[in-house]
Chains A and B, each alone.
Chain A
Amino acid sequence: MSLIDSKPKVGIFNLSSCEGCIVQILNLGDKLLRLFELIEIVDSRVLGIKKDYDYLDLAIIEGCVMSEEEKEKLVEIRNRSKVLIALGDCAVSANKNFMKDIVNSPVEAKSLRQIVKVDYEIPGCPINSDEFYDKVIEIVMGKKVIDRSITVCSECILFENDCLLDKGLTCLGPITRGGCNALCPSNGRPCFGCRGLSDDANIDALIKAFEERGIPVPLYLSALNLIKSLKDNERRMRNE
């Protein structure tokens, strides 16, 4: 499908989130102005845009669903949108990385996919602005949208960073979907998997790598907790 015949109508919405992924859109700077030449934003509370429209060519939704009202709002947006993008980890997987361990909570955070059909996902906490830019242009131009499926680890190797696993840290880079330019390991911090599991994630092999490197138990256990929430996220993403 190509949306380029006329300027596609785009809405940017947010449910429960920190709005950091929308800030990442603002962080595109003058690239954002170039994007605005291709698309017409018709609805965005953050930008103060509210035009009349019957349908949207593209709905970009940040945040997870944490109330009945948000659920209704999401279904309503889906019903009037041709294409829907889940923006950021909250929308993609309900961000259980950071929302886990809510014991006996009456409020359950749900990913968009648990409620409606999602056409594309832009993962990350926060999203990578350039990936957002590229994907929106690909969608608008009717090109095939290619997921950046390589792992954080493989990107990190390209930067020739020192391996954090070898330093005894529980880096989840080897099992995490790439596309962030290995930001955390490049800044001396282990990856904690904010972009979700990679397609070919081999968790057993990573745990073996922890053991081989004699990684201390407290670190090891924290990592297992993180991996568990990544697996939960994965189920929510697939709506299983």
Chain B
Amino acid sequence: MSERSISLSIKEISRIEGHLNVDVVVDENGDVKAYAKALEGTRIVENVLVGNDYWEAIEIASRMCGVCHAIHKLTATQAMENAFNVIVPEDAAMFRDIICIAGHIQSHLTHLYYFALPDFYGKNNILELLNEKKELVLKIIKLRQLTVDVIKRIGGSPVHPITPVVGGLSKEFNKSDVKFITEKFREMRGLVMEVAETMLGLDLPNFSRKTQYVALRDNKSIPLLRGDINLLDVRDYSSDEFLNAIQKILEKYSNAPHFLLNSESYMVGALSRLNINYPYLISEAKDICKRYNIKFPNYNPFVNNFAQALEIIHYTYEALDILENLASRNHYKHKTNFKVKKGMGISASEAPRGLLIHKYSVDENGRVVEANIITPTAQNLKNLERDCVAYFKLISNEPPDVIEKKIEMLVRSYDPCISCASRFRKL
């Protein structure tokens, strides 16, 4: 191995979910390489899933991550429903959409404002921001609290929601629940514009690198729980086709796997969702894009922050549409009966951080015999490394501490979730 100097080594990047180190290395020939090293103790959830009852496996899947728990639970549940050929009642599916949306917005708020925003004001954390931007911070906390209230009411618990079960929901809901949730989302609607615009008004680093963008698509919305997997400007995949098209790479330095699609890195997440589904962004959010001159498709990974802010607006309005639909119905069918049977089930969804796939095989008693979970952060790691290399080259003349800060910001823009990503390694 040729002698190499570590030009930059960032340990345990703060304000992300989980433990991640990033090294940028320049060798004697001037070649730059980046290494995204997921350090979270290997949590081997997939191994643990095998042998458990289907319902228990869903609970364990939810425990992969305390930030994206709602989408893991919903995706695992959908995959099991797929295995048992269960069609969930429409009402129950709508309530589950609301849980999904509230979880999505909550995760974005945590990332954008608790984790990313302090960077832009030269602060280390949101508490330091409290002194000079008290009103804004209180609004952000309020907004986040509203999403907690929503998940508490229809999910049962704000972390690891209880009610989503195979066949629908474990609890019957009524009009007063819908009224309660609607009030919460209306209150959110009153706050989201201002809060989102705080983010959208920021100056992002000028950096652009076109890559492959992948997200769900249904040609009518920006789907979270249903749809085909689309590679921007290229093609649609079914979940199975996509699993066959991607390559898993086990890098010695990382406790999380890396992935390639067509032998190239690719990006999933809010930026990919909007790059693919921008036509279906609600008009209120599109107006803001015009005002701030934000264009999609966009190849600047920092714009992932903007895309998340736009999604906060979009999904708040979408939730209100769903709730209006629910309010027009008199009662809600919460569950359908089903028989456990041997089979294989797969579900692809959009976690806050991007495309998520759960696939399970179960035996005739409903025990899991095989499990495969592809998380968004693991899919993003290779692309993150390549962005780090390109961005490093762009800013390599700046002082070392500035470079470190900027690379950290780039990593944070991806909103990595290392808890999710590093639960794979086969023992």
| Chain A residues with a Cβ under 8 A of chain B | 15-24, 26-27, 29-30, 32-33, 36, 41, 45-50, 66-67, 70, 95, 98-102, 105-107, 125-126, 129, 183-184, 186-189, 192, 218, 222
Contacts and interface: CB of A to CB of B under 8 A. Distances in A.
Given A66-B41, A70-B41, A184-B156, 16 more contacts: A16-B43, A19-B17, A23-B110, A29-B144, A30-B138, A33-B130, A46-B14, A48-B124, A49-B124, A106-B427, A107-B42, A107-B44, A183-B157, A187-B162, A188-B163, A189-B170
14 contacts: A18-B419, A19-B66, A21-B159, A23-B110, A24-B66, A24-B159, A26-B144, A48-B124, A48-B126, A98-B59, A101-B48, A101-B52, A187-B162, A187-B170
A26 B42 CA distance: 25
B15 A48 contact: yes
Interface string B46-73: 0110111100100110011111010000
B258 to A, nearest CB: 21
Contacts of B126: 47-48
Nearest to A20: B66
A187 B52 contact: no
B41 A183 contact: no
Contacts of B157: 126, 183, 187
A171 to B, nearest CB: 12
Interface in B7-31: 12, 14-15, 17-19
Contacts of A67: 41
A133 B60 CA distance: 26
B66 A126 contact: yes
A48 B66 contact: no
B171 to A, nearest CB: 4
Contact of A102 (B44, B67, B110, B138): B44
B127 interface: yes
B14 A105 contact: no
Nearest to A219: B53
A16 B159 contact: no
Interface string B379-391: 0000000000000
A159 to B, nearest CB: 13
B159 A20 contact: yes
Q: Please indicate which of the listed interface residues B12, B114, B159 has the most CB atoms of chain A within 10 Å of its own CB.
A: B159
A126 B159 contact: yes
A20 B63 contact: yes
Contacts of A24: 66, 158-159
Given A187-B163, A189-B165, A50 B48 contact: no
A50 B14 contact: yes
B135 to A, nearest CB: 13
Contacts of A21: 66, 159
A92 B22 CA distance: 31
| Top 9 A-B residue pairs of the complex, sorted by shortest distance between their CB atoms | A20-B66, A16-B41, A66-B41, A187-B156, A48-B125, A188-B170, A29-B145, A18-B66, A126-B159
